[in-house]
């Protein structure tokens, strides 16, 4: 895999002055942005090519600092979101706080994360968060709802001796393979 696949590009206005500086790879310079893409492809110029991601971020940062940003009143560029990544405004953070996620979105997120394992550091952080919290206890109404939902689902079924024997043998084999006994 080529680690030098990034580039830094600029969009030029009619006066051939840059109005946007970006970093990317593949066809990012020609993909839709928050800012308008020049219809004349000759107004899209590549400032540097064959860069590492870190190198492209450094050059993008340097160029944005050089030309300045309109939103900060420091220059001519329409760039708004920092260097090499998105940063939220306080207003945006408040607008999404407490937002309810649809079941369709939850399904998509679940499918995207299926089979991924959290890093040891992430698991430790989650463990520390949970340590200080009391476990929620199920209310009588909650228990009744669970019981009602489980009706007709073979809950509390009676297993035959043959089935029990097969389960025991499978468990013994698993135990032996894990612990060498």
Close Cβ partners of 20 (under 8 Å, ≥ 6 residues apart): 10, 11, 33, 35, 77, 78, 79
Domain ranges of the chain: 6-86
**Which of the two residues, 150 and 68, has the higher pLDDT score?**
68
pLDDT (tens digit per residue) in 100-148: 778 888 888 888 888 888 888 888 888 887 776 666 677 888 888 877 7
What average pLDDT does this structure show over 17-44? 92
Residue 36 has pLDDT above 60, yes or no: yes
| Residues facing 69 on adjacent strands | 77
**Token digits for 37?**
């893409």
Return phi, psi of residue 49, to 5°.
-130, 170
Q: How far apart (Å, rounded) are the C-alpha atoms in residues 156 and 115?
A: 31
Sheet of 18-24, strand order:
18-24, 6-12, 44-51
């Amino acid at each position: 895999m080529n680690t030098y696949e990034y580039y830094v590009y600029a969009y030029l206005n009619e006066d051939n002055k840059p109005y946007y500086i970006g970093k990317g790879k593949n066809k990012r310079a020609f993909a839709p942005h928050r800012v308008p893409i020049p219809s004349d492809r000759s107004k899209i110029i590549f400032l540097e090519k064959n860069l590492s991601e870190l190198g492209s971020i450094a050059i993008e940062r340097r160029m944005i600092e050089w030309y300045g940003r309109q939103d900060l009143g420091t220059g001519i560029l329409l760039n708004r979101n920092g260097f090499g990544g998105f940063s939220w405004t306080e207003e945006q953070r408040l607008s999404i706080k407490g937002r309810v996620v649809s079941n369709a979105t939850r399904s998509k997120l679940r499918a995207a994360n299926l089979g991924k394992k959290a890093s040891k550091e992430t698991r430790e952080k989650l463990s520390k968060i949970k340590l200080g919290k009391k476990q929620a206890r199920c209310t009588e109404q909650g228990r009744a709802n669970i019981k009602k939902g489980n009706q007709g689902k073979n809950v509390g079924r009676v297993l035959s001796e043959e089935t029990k024997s097969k389960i025991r043998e499978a468990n013994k084999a698993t135990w032996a393979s894990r612990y060498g006994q």
